[in-house]
Structure 1
């Protein structure tokens, strides 16, 4: 089961700089434009999906969608934001109405700052992230009717590699972080509701692995 539970950060975008493309020389008293400069092969945006979560987890019944949006700031740096959605229901497993039923929805967002060792937003990079997630669980059977929710927040540090050919991109990164969680529960069976809340809380260190395919533009 997926353990990692998502995240948030507020990210400020860099300012755009304008520069006068003309020079004047007193000797000639004329104004001329400099030689054209070829555009750098460094797209400003990159949008990627996470195919392992999308295909494998969805096939197992946990509908999952992670999208990473990256915006370059300088030749070596960029900011990223990653919304995440996970949903699972007992309906997927054809559970009879007389048996237990459950629904779980997880919503999260991740924000981060990425530094590339080489210019061009490709190759080796280090990333600092903040993650936030909210998870809600509803459970119902003949004896128990309960709902629980949890919030998770934590910083992560990752090391990764990004490959780009033309507009197509591939990246993989691995990191560690610390999750701080809180949970609450309610239901007609108080003991079971509290147990659900305790099961959702898991403070401590965690790992994060991401594999993405994307498009740069």
Structure 2
């Protein structure tokens, strides 16, 4: 895959000169996140699991296919992340309060699934880790950026981002359809994916996972697709 184009000159976040930026908002699709995410401020019960000294697990959605948002291509795949210098990119463009709160709860070395959304075959494509905790998202202040927010001020920013680093491609792609099959079965049996946010809070571009959910999904790599 080609490297993603830099969205704006000088768009790097603090301490990451030239760091590629990452778009996370997605248009409505049949599987995941809505283009207009709910913007009501809230702190959800999921955050109670994000202890200061405990490792947390996440699912982060990105679009692997080209799509223009106000003239800017928001495409960014796991292969694009792998191609970055040091295989690191900032995860910008989140404009949903619940997803933002999850970003602010992330800790160094937390693990996250890189989820391909709004595409022909959505699903989990790879693994990443958090290498820089939440700091202000520069795109909220840039008037020619698709995610500019005139209500946000530099001395009191509303939106934050983290830096993620490529870990590896999944041994096999774990599709949304496969995950949905397990979710439906686990709702009846009480299995690990019974309450997975991918199905209960579909529009969120950043979602928390329990360790049980994370471990179960990892175990699917070594199984034939259901």
TM-score between the two structures when normalised by the length of structure 1? 0.24
Structure number with greater CO (CA < 8 Å, separation at least 6) is 2
Greater helix content: 2
Greater strand content: 1
TM-score between the two structures when normalised by the length of structure 2? 0.24
Q: Which has the larger radius of gyration?
A: 1
